[in-house]
Amino acid sequence: MAKEKEIFKRAELLMGEDVMEALASKRVIVFGVGGVGSWCVECLVRSGIRHITIVDCDCVCASNVNRQLMATSSTIGRVKVEALRERLLEINPDCEVNALQKMYTDETAAEFHLDEYDYIIDAIDSLKDKISLIMRACETNAVFFSSMGAALKMDSMQIRVTEFWKVRGCPLGAALRKRMKRAGLKPAHKFQCVYSEELLDNRGSDTGNDPCLIQKAQTNGSMAHITAIFGFTIAGLVLKDVYQKTLGKL
């Protein structure tokens, strides 16, 4: 624990011992540890979160290397959550990292015990599963944050945070709202999203032989600086929320 205290000394200088203690007590679950989720998780652990569950069913593919934190030439083929867990424990060996190689769906939702968490973070792509997670997460007492689409973007200055129903210019956000309205679904409370109104076209067309690309109905280009900022922004929302609540500003 003495070593852990030294690791977070810079964070404690800024936020204070009481906030660091609050961060260490929070339980966070992150669904999807790809281009957005992996950077979010790393930031949280580097900032003092000690109890974190990471959920993803995939293995690392070559096409992940350009933007996913744990994806390197040496981790291709490995289970994503296991590769990321190893890295997180190298950062803080005292961190409790629960790595679940699972897919969140309506059928598996009960397995994740969402009521046990203080913060729930959505960084998954599937529209159906994303809607299910949104609805269930908003029924808990946890604070919920969601990532909209981070593909087809280059301008980091256009990344924004707003309430879900106010997201504009994001095809993923529009598709979610359309499906939810059609099904008569309304989350139990409002929640914040990270998004960008920028939408570029793919200039390339060859997806090669990468299984991660072949199995998808549609593949869009994406860059590390965008996905990382999305992830860091969501992590920042968690940190800000803990900081303000600890100081009694909310």
Whether residue 58 is contained in a domain is answered as: yes
Strand partners, 162: 193
Please give the full DSSP string across 168-193, using - where no structure is assigned. -S-HHHHHHHHHHHHHT---SS--EE
Q: Is the separation of the CB atoms in 232 and 238 below 8 Å?
A: no
Report whether 14 contacts 104 (CB < 8 A): no
Average pLDDT, the chain: 94
8 domain-assigned = no
Phi-psi region of 48 (alpha: psi -120 to 50; beta: other; left: phi over 0): left
Is residue 195, in this structure, part of any structural domain at all? yes
If DSSP codes are grouped into helix, strand and coil, which group holds residue 197?
coil
Tokens found for residue 224: 């590390």
Cβ atoms of residues 143 and 239 within 8 Å: no
* Residue 219 pLDDT: 86
* Residue 4 included in any domain: no
> What's the average model confidence in pLDDT over 23-34?
98
Name the E strands within the chain. Answer: 27-31, 51-55, 96-100, 119-122, 143-147, 159-163, 192-196
* pLDDT tens track for 190-237: 999 999 999 999 998 776 666 665 555 578 999 999 999 999 999 999
pLDDT tens per residue, range 89-147: 999 999 999 999 999 999 999 999 999 999 999 999 999 999 999 999 999 999 999 99
Q: Is residue 7 part of a domain?
A: no
Residue 44 within any structural domain of the chain: yes
Strands 143-147 and 159-163, how do they pair?
unpaired
Domain coverage including residue 56: 16-246
CATH number, position 201: 3.40.50.720
CA–CA dist 199, 131 (Å, integer): 22
pLDDT of 250 higher than 60: no
**Would residue 162 count as lying in a domain?**
yes
Q: Count how many domains the chain has.
A: 1
Q: Has residue 18 got a pLDDT over 60? A: yes
- Measured distance CA(43)–CA(133) in Å, rounded: 22
206 part of a folded domain: yes
In angstroms, the CA 40 to CA 109 distance is 22
Residue 121 near residue 28, CB atoms below 8 Å:
yes
